[in-house]
Amino acid sequence: MKKSAGEKTESDIMTHGTNPYEIVKSLLKESVSRLGLNENIYHMLKKPMRVLEVSIPVRMDDGSLENFTGYRAQHIDILGPTKGGIRFHPLVNIDEVKALSIWMSLKAAILNLPLGGGKGGVIVDPEKLSDRELETLSRTYIRKITPIIGPQKDIPAPDVNTNPEVMGWMIDEFDQLRGYNIPGMLTGKPIIIGGSLGRLEATGRGVALTIREAAKILDMDLSKTTVAIQGFGNVGSMTAKFLHELGVKIVAVTDAKGGIYRKEGLNIPDLLEFVKDKQNYASDYQNADAITNEKMFSLPVDILIPAAVENQITKDSAPTIQAKVVAEAANGPTTPEGDKILEEKGIFVIPDILCNAGGVTVSYFEWVQNSMNYYWKEEEINQKLEEKMLFGFDKVLKMRKEKQCFMREAAYMVGINHLVKAMHARGWIKEDDLSEE
């Protein structure tokens, strides 16, 4: 029996791995304790302030009606409107969306952005939809969540399987409902209708910047460094582009269909051209050898970059990793068991809430430009992005040295500290909450 575009099988759910919401709650609790804060802080941060579930009926091309399920989570708005992407994926679930909203709050706090964390998703396999069905789904989803979004409430953006085209449909639907143009209601839009230069490349550029800074600390010569990348979508491909420009040799990449490997280094400009029109997968590239995802993780490279989905570095895959650095371009790619193994092996981890924060940073810039109705040159945006990424990296590094901890713990503590200061300033918490009982 053919599986519908919005249906999940039991095996799909079982292979999804460890619950990301449980992971993030555990990390929050540990970090609050390590900072010497009252446990009340943890209880305030562990739940999104609002979660909406919506039904999304779509008339399919064959005349049938399919009802998809969508979510939007808003974690905390103490610093400003919530902000975060919308993903279309068969394995989207409510706990994943909650976890991603919390991670977004921490990213914004680490980089000192006046935003909270939000996240949305629809349980759907977009590859099984026609263009018309995908547009109808996109417009109906945004219509259903309209009451809780807007430039001063919650600002969506692209994520897994969504892009500027999808954002264009969504903002058009929102504007038609409101009766006038509101360019700041979402980010990642096409440039012509208020998108920002540099947004498409922002996450990958930020990943490359954090790797460059880590290399300085670890005394690594990037021109003699090898890299393997899991995932070659927007983030993975842009990361490859910028690392190649830094002189790094990328020897392997994998995607949903398979992987490619070349010991002497892949021809990244040629590979980027090959996948440019979205018709080809990186794994279809002929000028390289085939490699499995499992084998890619165990390659003797200097830097491993998970740039796909959650729960990829596990108790099973972590022991095989030989890299000196793991740069988490994806959200939540490492399970707690996998993380413990990385720590034991002495691998330097650039945690997701720092490593991939370039996307939300340039989304913030886009929102600011929409508010001013004045747009910056790409060079200025890239310069501002670098300043923000280095600011965040330095803050996390200082916390790591101060607390004598690993980078992930340090990143969580930096983010939580920033949110706690705002809570105290607004009177949400009292002096007693700033220390353990």
The rounded distance, in Å, linking the Cα atoms of 378 and 381 is 5
Cβ partners under 8 Å of residue 148, min gap 6: 50, 52, 72, 74, 154
Cβ pair 238, 200 in contact under 8 A: yes
Which of 83, 107, 119, 388 is an active site residue?
119
Q: Assign 140 to helix, strand or coil.
A: helix
Measuring CA to CA, which residue among 402, 419, 399, 395 is closest to residue 410? 399
d(CA 294, CA 330): 17
Q: What is the dihedral of CA 396, 401, 404, 410, to 10 degrees?
A: -10
119 is known as an active-site residue: yes
Of 363, 296, 344, which is closest to residue 104 (Cα–Cα)? 363
Q: What tokens does 337 get?
A: 């068991």
Which CA distances in Å does 164 have to 138, 170, 199?
12, 10, 10
Count of helices and strands (H, E) across the chain: 15, 12
Cβ count within 10 A of residue 161 = 20
Question: Which of the 8 DSSP states describes residue 58?
Answer: E
Q: For residue 386, which amino acid is it? A: E
* Order of strands, sheet of 65-74, starting from the edge strand that comes earlier in the sequence: 50-59, 65-74, 116-123, 82-89, 154-158
Q: Quick check: 146 and 72 in contact, CB under 8 A?
A: no
Neighbouring C-beta atoms of residue 163, cutoff 10 Å: 15
- Catalytically active residues are 119
